[in-house]
Structure 1
Amino acid sequence: MRIVFMGTPDFAVPTLTALIEGGHEVVAVVTQPDKPKGRGKAVLMTPVKEKAIEYEIPVYQPVKVRDPEFVELLKTMALDAIVVVAFGQILPKSILDLPKYGCVNVHASLLPKYRGAAPIQWAVIDGEKESGVTTMMMDVGLDTGDMLEQKAIPLDEKETGGSLFDKLSALGGSMILSTLKGLENGTITRTPQGESGTSYAKMLTKEMGHIDWTKDAVSIERLVRGLNPWPSAYTSYAGKTMKIWAAEVADLPGERAPGKIHVTKDRIFVETGEGVLDVKELQLEGKKRMDTASFLRGFQMEDGSFCG
Structure 2
Amino acid sequence: MGHVIAAALCGDALFRDWAARADILCVANVEEFSALVNSEPVEWMFSIANPFILPADVFRRVRRGAFNYHDGPLPRYAGTHPTSWALLAQETEYAITWHRIDHGVDTGDLVVQRQVLIGPTDTTLSLTLKCYEAAVEGFRELLTGLTNGTLAARSQALANRSYFPGGRRADASGSLRWDRSAQDLSAMARALEFGLYHSNPLCFAQGSPGE
Same fold (TM over 0.5): yes
- How far apart in 2 are the matches of 1:49 and 1:121? 28
After superposition, residues 41-56 of structure 1 pair within 5 angstroms as 45=13, 47-56=14-23
State the partner residue of 1:295: none
Contact persistence 1:133–1:150 (CA under 8 A): yes
The structure in which a higher percent of residues are helix is 2
Greater Rg by CA: 1
- The TM-score with structure 2 as length reference comes to 0.85
Q: Kindly report the root-mean-square deviation, in angstroms, between the aligned alpha carbons of the 2 structures.
A: 2.3
CA shift digits 1:144-182 (9 cap, x unpaired)? 000001111211111111111111111111211221221
Q: 1:228 is matched with which residue: 176, 190, 193?
A: 193
Q: 1:60 is matched with which residue: 10, 13, 27?
A: 27
- How far apart in 2 are the matches of 1:178 and 1:167? 17
Asked if 1:25 is matched to 2:4, the reply is yes
| Aligned residues with identical type, % of pairs | 27
- How far apart in 2 are the matches of 1:57 and 1:142? 28
State the partner residue of 1:146: 109
- How far apart in 1 are the matches of 2:18 and 2:95? 24
* Letter matched to residue 229 of structure 1: F
The structure in which a higher percent of residues are strand is 1
After superposition, residues 1-308 of structure 1 pair within 5 angstroms as 22-32=1-11, 45=13, 47-62=14-29, 65=30, 67=31, 70-203=33-166, 208-229=173-194, 231=200, 232-235=204-207, 306-307=210-211
Contact persistence 2:114–2:135 (CA under 8 A): no
Change (3 A) 1:56 1:145: same
- How far apart in 2 are the matches of 1:177 and 1:223? 34
Where structure 1 has 5 or more consecutive residues not aligned to the other structure, the ranges are 1-21, 35-44, 238-305
Where structure 2 has 5 or more consecutive residues not aligned to the other structure, the ranges are none
Cα deviation, residue 70, structure 1:
4.3
Task: Say which SS state the counterpart of residue 177 (structure 1) adopts.
Answer: helix
- The TM-score with structure 1 as length reference comes to 0.60
Aligned length: 202
